[in-house]
Amino acid sequence: MIAQLIAKKHAITSIAEAINKDKSVVSREIKRKYKADLAQKN
């Protein structure tokens, strides 16, 4: 769900509101996904 909203260029705050979580949780999950993607490429 987060990835879909990011792809649609939603702000972290609006994503957090949409999934009923704090924006820090959303930000942390985005960073975690980004690190996982980089690790797989190397």
Render pLDDT for 21-30 as a digit per residue (tens, 0 to 9): 999 999 999 9
| pLDDT interval class at 12 (50, 70, 90) | very high
Share of the chain above pLDDT 90, in %: 69
Per the CB < 8 A criterion, the answer to whether 25 and 14 are in contact is no
Q: Comparing C-alpha atoms, which of 10, 1, 7, 2 is closest to residue 31? A: 2
Domain ranges of the chain: 2-41
φ and ψ of 28, to 5 deg: -65, -40
